[in-house]
Every structure is written in structure tokens, then in C-alpha cells.
Amino acid sequence: MAYNLYGIIFGSKHPFGVDKFLRIAWKKNELNGEANFDIDKDRFKHSNQLVLFPWMRNLTKIEKFEKELSEFLLEKDRANKEVYDFTLEHGHIPRHAHIVVKKLKIENKIIYSGRCCISYDKCYNHNNKEIKIFRRVV
């Protein structure tokens, strides 16, 4: 039996357009934000089954992003705009970045003052531009 799979290619010059699209995509599919079915079989990657070699386990899309964002933040000091852009470029929504940033702060790997402010309004809106620097703890 053959199945027809359809996809959509989305492009935008403006980060707010990308943000809006990704929010809708992740609202439709909270598992990987890609489709209304499990393309990458993330549901099976996230199972509680024990693995003989844990380092060989395939990561879900969210787990992979969390790892990449952690490495990005720990590489050097970053501004919230850089983190926001990185998040969009990797097909994720700011909520996913907030989780990683807060986790790194709790683990005392990065420091910042106030709230982390990873959103379009806080990074691009000229009336409300807040620059937060995420500093690595050395």
C-alpha cells in the first residue's frame, strides 16, 4: 500500500514570520514540529526502553536541539538575539530555548540578570529592545 506524503516549504525574510510559522507547526505537532504524523519516529526514540550503549541512542529533535544550544551557549558569551536566531535557524520555538537557558543557569554554567528574554519583541522590536548577555561561568 502506497501512502502519499505532502510537505510544505516555508520561507521568510523576516524572523517574525519564521517565528509565527514555527509556533503553528509546533502547536500542530508537539513531538517534532514537522507534520501531523511522526516522520522521524521520534515517538520510538523517546521510549523508556533501556539501551545497551546509551551514547548510540538516537536523539529526538528536541533533545538534539537542547544539546546543540547548550554547546552554542557554552562556546562563548552570547546575546539573547543570537540565541533567538539560533533557535529559529534550527526550527524550534523560543520556549525550547528558555528551557535550556534556565537549566544551564540552575547548573551554574551560565549567568544573566533578570529574565532570559528570548522572543521577537525583546530582540528585534526597536521600542522594547532588551539585550541580555548569557555569560559562561569559568
H or E element in which residue 105 lies: helix 94-106
In a domain, 65, yes or no: yes
In a domain, 47, yes or no: yes
Are the CB atoms for 111 and 96 separated by under 8 Å?
no
In a domain, 5, yes or no: no
For 5, other C-beta atoms within 10 Å of its C-beta total 8
In a domain, 32, yes or no: yes
pLDDT digits (tens, 9 = 90+) for 7-23: 677 888 899 999 999 99
User: For the whole model, what pTM was predicted?
Assistant: 0.80
pLDDT digits (tens, 9 = 90+) for 41-94: 555 555 555 666 666 667 778 889 999 999 999 998 888 999 999 999 999 999
In a domain, 90, yes or no: yes
In a domain, 7, yes or no: no
Looking at the structure of the chain, the number of domains it has is 1
Instruction: Could you list the beta-strand ranges (E) of the chain.
Output: 78-79, 110-111, 133-136
In a domain, 1, yes or no: no
